[in-house]
Amino acid sequence: MKTMTCRDLGGPCTLEHQGTTADQVIKAQDRHLRDAVKAGDASHAAARDEMKGRWRHPKQSMDWYNGVKRAYADLPAA
């Protein structure tokens, strides 16, 4: 199990997401951004829009995704 923060994934806060894979952490971040924006947290709106728009640009999205996977792999196991 490893931990990355919202900020590590491009968001504005230090909420920690844990998972046994980078994909689990990314999905947790997506849920967090969606829930935060739905609750009216404007500070997360830009990160949520970026997350949603990222997949419209496959090259950029793969660069981000591979970067997160590398960062996750480099983390020590908790």
CB of 37 within 8 A of CB of 48? yes
Give the tens place of pLDDT for each residue, 29-62: 999 999 999 999 999 999 999 888 877 888 888 9
Share the mean pLDDT of the chain: 93
Quote the pLDDT of residue 53.
84
Task: State the pLDDT confidence band at 12, using cuts at 50, 70 and 90.
Answer: very high
Structure tokens at 42: 């404007």
Q: Which residues contact 19 (CB under 8 A, 6 or more apart)?
A: 1, 2, 25, 27, 28
Q: Is the dihedral of CA 66, 68, 70, 72 positive or negative?
A: negative
